[in-house]
C-alpha cells in the first residue's frame, strides 16, 4: 500500500500539473483572441483606407468636371466681353484696324488665359486627390499584409511545445 504522504505528494503534483496545463490553455486562448483582434483591426484599417481612396477618386473626377465647367464659363464671358467691345466700336463708327483690333485681341487672349488657368487648377486638384488616393491604397495594402502576417497558430504551437 502507498504511504499517505506519498499519496498526498503525488496528488499535489498532479493537481499542480493540471493547474499549469489549465493556465497554459487560458494563455493560449487569450493569445489567439489577441491575434484575431489584431487581424480584425488591420483589416478594418485597410477597408477604411480603401474607402478614403475611393472618395479621393470621386473628388478628383468632380474637380475635373468643375474645372471644365469653370473654363467654359470663362470662355463664354470672354466671348461676351469681346462682343460688347465690338458693338461699342461699331457704334462709334471706329474702323477695326490697328489699335481697336489689338484691344479685341487682348480681350480674347485674356479670356483664353482665364479658361486655361481654371482648367489647370482643376487638373492640379484632381492630381492631388489621385495622389492622396494612391497613398491610401498603398497604406491599405500595408494593413492587409500586416493582417496576413498575424499568425496565432504559430505562437500557439510554440507555447504548447515549451
Please state the domain extents for the chain.
10-146
What pLDDT digit, counting tens, does each position of 142-160 carry? 999 999 888 766 555 555 5
pLDDT one-digit tens code per residue, 80-130: 998 888 888 888 887 767 787 888 888 889 999 999 999 999 999 999 999
Q: What's the pLDDT score for residue 23? A: 75
Confidence (pLDDT) at 158? 59
Mean pLDDT of 135-147: 94
Query: What's the pTM?
Result: 0.66
The answer to whether the beta carbons of residues 79 and 111 sit under 8 Å apart is yes
| CA atoms of 35 and 68, how far apart (whole Å) | 50
For the segment 29-83, what is each residue's pLDDT rounded down to a tens digit?
777 778 888 889 999 999 999 999 999 999 999 999 999 999 999 999 999 998 8
Residue closest to 132 by CA, chosen among 74, 33, 63: 63
CB atoms within 10 A of CB 80: 11
Cell digits of residue 143: 494593413
Contacts of 100 by beta carbon, 8 Å cutoff, 6+ apart: 89, 94
Q: Which of 112-123 are b and which e, b meaning 16 or more Cβ less than 10 Å from the residue's Cβ?
A: eebbeebbeebe
- pLDDT for position 152: 63
Please give the pLDDT value at position 132: 96
Amino acid at each position: 500500500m502507498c504511504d499517505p504522504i506519498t499519496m498526498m505528494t503525488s496528488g499535489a503534483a498532479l493537481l499542480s500539473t493540471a493547474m499549469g496545463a489549465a493556465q497554459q490553455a487560458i494563455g493560449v486562448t487569450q493569445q489567439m483572441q489577441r491575434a484575431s483582434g489584431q487581424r480584425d483591426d488591420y483589416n478594418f484599417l485597410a477597408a477604411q483606407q480603401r474607402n478614403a481612396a475611393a472618395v479621393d477618386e470621386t473628388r478628383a473626377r468632380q474637380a475635373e468636371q468643375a474645372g471644365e465647367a469653370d473654363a467654359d464659363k470663362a470662355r463664354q464671358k470672354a466671348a461676351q466681353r469681346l462682343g460688347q467691345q465690338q458693338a461699342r466700336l461699331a457704334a462709334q463708327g471706329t474702323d477695326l484696324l490697328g489699335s481697336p483690333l489689338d484691344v479685341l485681341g487682348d480681350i480674347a487672349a485674356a479670356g483664353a488665359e482665364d479658361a486655361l488657368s481654371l482648367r489647370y487648377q482643376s487638373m492640379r486638384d484632381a492630381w492631388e486627390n489621385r495622389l492622396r488616393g494612391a497613398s491610401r491604397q498603398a497604406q491599405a495594402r500595408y494593413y492587409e499584409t500586416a493582417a496576413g502576417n498575424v499568425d496565432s497558430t504559430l505562437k500557439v504551437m510554440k507555447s504548447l511545445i515549451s
